């Protein structure tokens, strides 16, 4: 069983919206809901004092603003309808959509800058591509359910070191994370899945790390107890055929953290 980490708060959710996934993410509403939630949870010993939060109560309204009954002038002299207490469901992005994917994991800071380029446009930056990344923590564990997938999860602590961003006009996405650890028989790597703006897969690939820098990172901090990676890029079953196109550029130091830059070319 792999321990699940703490999800970042909703406030950390990126404002970058994937057009057909996300629509209106009303952050103020979510903040309100979260505050309401604290009240409900702390009151749980006093049985059933909470008002209904059945989402059916909001189905007549499309999203967020239906509770506002004050502050406007009622000119038709009709009774102001009573409003059921919230919360009201609001369109919200996947919990993957965040730029800081560290969650509760500790390690040497790594800023990940990935440029997506379009082979069909002379390798110009590809805007509005969806980029998923995921990698293991300092101990070599991924955030995912246990082997059977039948394990209940705390809804506030769902995943770590997984993220999704949409490329800007230059084709760039940026994530804040930690330097990946390693696990047996694989060289250190980051997984990347690139989609077009409608979610159709363009490429699944992995990013390799310079071995000299990994050696420095794995000799210190939370990585030290796990030791040095047991597999070189040359012996890796993914990178073993060469890392010409998978090797990243990594600069920095263990005090200030590292910055990874990498270009990925897709046909879009």
List beta partners, residue 133: 163, 192
Please calculate the CA angle 241-244-247 and round it to the nearest 5 degrees.
105
Per-residue binding letters, 73-112, with other proteins (x by CB under 8 A): --------------xxxxxxxxxx----------------
Contact window for other proteins (CB under 8 A) among 6-14, 103-111, 207-215, 227-235: 6-14
Contact indicator for 199, 21 with CB cutoff of 8 Å: yes
Phi, psi of 250, deg, nearest 5: -125, 125
List beta partners, residue 266: 118
Q: Considering only residues 200, 225, 244, 255, which one is a binding residue for other proteins as defined by CB under 8 A?
A: 200
Contact indicator for 259, 111 with CB cutoff of 8 Å: yes
Smaller CB separation from other proteins, 175 or 195: 195
Residue 22, C-beta contacts closer than 8 angstroms, at least 6 positions apart: 91, 92, 93, 97
Unique residue bearing structure tokens 């207490």:
85
Nearest to 112 by CA among 172, 27, 197: 172
- For residues 205 and 132, what is the distance between their CA atoms, to the nearest angstrom? 11
Q: Considering only residues 150, 184, 244, 256, which one is a binding residue for other proteins as defined by CB under 8 A?
A: 150
Q: Is residue 259 a contact point for other proteins (CB under 8 A)?
A: no
Q: Is residue 149 a contact point for other proteins (CB under 8 A)?
A: yes
- For residues 50 and 47, what is the distance between their CA atoms, to the nearest angstrom? 8
Number of residues that bind other proteins (CB under 8 A): 58
Smaller CB separation from other proteins, 63 or 254: 63
Q: Is residue 40 a contact point for other proteins (CB under 8 A)?
A: yes
Q: How far is the CB of 8 from other proteins (least distance, A)?
A: 11
Q: Considering only residues 6, 17, 27, 53, which one is a binding residue for other proteins as defined by CB under 8 A?
A: 53
Q: Is residue 30 a contact point for other proteins (CB under 8 A)?
A: yes
Helix, strand, or coil (residue 156): coil
Smaller CB separation from other proteins, 142 or 210: 142
Smaller CB separation from other proteins, 62 or 65: 62
Smaller CB separation from other proteins, 2 or 216: 2
In angstroms, the first-to-last Cα distance of the chain is 38
Query: Interface with other proteins by CB under 8 A: which residues?
Result: 7, 10, 13, 20-21, 30, 33-34, 36-37, 40-41, 44-48, 50-56, 58-59, 62, 87-96, 130, 144-145, 148-156, 158-159, 162, 193, 195, 199-201, 204
């Amino acid at each position: 069983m792999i321990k699940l980490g703490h999800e970042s708060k909703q406030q950390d959710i990126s404002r970058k919206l994937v057009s057909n996934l996300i629509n209106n993410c009303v952050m103020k509403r979510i903040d309100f809901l979260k505050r309401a939630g604290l009240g409900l949870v702390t009151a749980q010993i006093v049985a059933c004092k909470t008002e209904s939060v059945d989402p059916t109560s909001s189905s007549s309204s499309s999203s967020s603003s239906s509770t506002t009954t004050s502050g406007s002038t009622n000119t038709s002299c009709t009774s102001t309808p009573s409003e059921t207490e919230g919360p009201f469901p609001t369109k919200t992005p996947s919990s993957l959509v965040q730029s800081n994917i560290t969650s509760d994991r500790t390690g040497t800071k790594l800023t990940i800058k990935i440029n997506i380029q379009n082979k069909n446009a002379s390798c110009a930056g590809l805007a509005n591509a969806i980029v998923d990344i995921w990698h293991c923590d300092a101990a070599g564990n991924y955030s995912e359910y246990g082997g059977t997938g039948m394990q209940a999860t705390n809804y506030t602590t769902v995943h770590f070191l997984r993220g999704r961003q949409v490329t800007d006009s230059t084709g760039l996405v940026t994530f804040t994370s930690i330097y990946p650890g390693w696990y047996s028989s694989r060289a250190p790597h980051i997984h990347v899945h690139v989609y077009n703006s409608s979610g159709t897969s363009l490429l699944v690939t992995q990013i390799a790390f310079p071995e000299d820098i990994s050696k420095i990172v794995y000799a210190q901090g939370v990585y030290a107890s796990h030791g040095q990676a047991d597999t070189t890029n040359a012996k890796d079953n993914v990178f073993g055929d060469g890392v010409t196109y998978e090797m990243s550029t990594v600069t920095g130091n263990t005090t200030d953290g590292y910055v990874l830059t990498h270009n990925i070319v897709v046909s879009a």
